[in-house]
């Protein structure tokens, strides 16, 4: 087999926002393809948009919230196949963000609290950074980012 007979690589670029207010991190609980997942708010980059515009779009779609991008936090630096399609390589890009309207996000108190349990259901909640466990996140890149956040938070 040579390089020309291999399947064309598919890169799945994901963009996420790290929103921290009053020592609490915003996380997203979702049902995706019948699986309950916990992740950072954000999603897939669409063809033709930059990462910053894509992240702003995701926050508007998911939370009806305008955010300001503060700075780049992390881009995945290891190979991660998609949990939903092993032929895709996930590239996760994370930004620190702040809400332009603090305190306007509708959140739940408990994990996986949904109005319905249909595919695509989503809810948000705040997690105290002092009680954050990286294993709470479903995906390895998010777990890595949570560890980085904890290291930074403990150093403050």
Average pLDDT, the chain: 90
| Whether the predicted pLDDT of 118 surpasses 90 | no
On whether residue 147 sits in a domain, the answer given is no
**Is pTM, for the whole model, over 0.75?**
yes
Using pLDDT thresholds of 50, 70 and 90, give the confidence band for residue 106. confident
**Residues 19 and 73 sit within 8 Å (Cβ to Cβ):** no
Report the number of distinct structural domains present in the chain.
1
Q: For residue 136, tell me if it sits in a domain.
A: yes
Has residue 101 got a pLDDT over 90?
Answer: no
Compute the distance between CA of residue 56 and CA of residue 108 in angstroms, rounded to an integer: 22
Domain contains 89? yes
CB 59 within 8 Å of CB 93: no
* 113 belongs to a structural domain: no
Q: What is the pLDDT of residue 154?
A: 66
The confidence score (pLDDT) of residue 5 equals: 59
What confidence score (pLDDT) does residue 119 get? 75
Dist. CA 12–CA 94, nearest whole Å: 14
Task: Give the domain range for residue 22.
Answer: 10-106+119-142
- CATH value at residue 48: 3.90.79.10
Per-residue pLDDT, averaged over 5-21, amounts to 87
């Amino acid at each position: 087999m040579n390089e020309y007979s291999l399947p064309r690589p598919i890169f799945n670029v994901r963009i996420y926002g790290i929103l921290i207010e009053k020592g609490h991190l915003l996380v997203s609980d979702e049902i995706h393809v019948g699986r309950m997942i916990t992740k950072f708010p954000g999603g897939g980059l669409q063809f033709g948009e930059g990462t910053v515009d894509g992240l702003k779009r995701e926050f508007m779609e998911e939370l009806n919230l305008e955010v300001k991008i503060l700075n780049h936090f992390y881009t995945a630096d290891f190979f991660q196949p998609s949990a939903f399609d092993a032929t895709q390589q996930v590239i996760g890009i994370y930004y620190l963000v702040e809400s332009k309207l603090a305190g306007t996000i509708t959140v739940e108190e408990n994990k996986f609290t949904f109005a319905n349990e249909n595919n695509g259901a989503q809810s948000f909640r705040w997690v105290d950074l002092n009680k954050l466990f990286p294993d709470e996140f479903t995906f390895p890149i998010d777990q890595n980012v949570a560890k980085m956040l904890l290291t930074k938070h403990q150093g403050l």
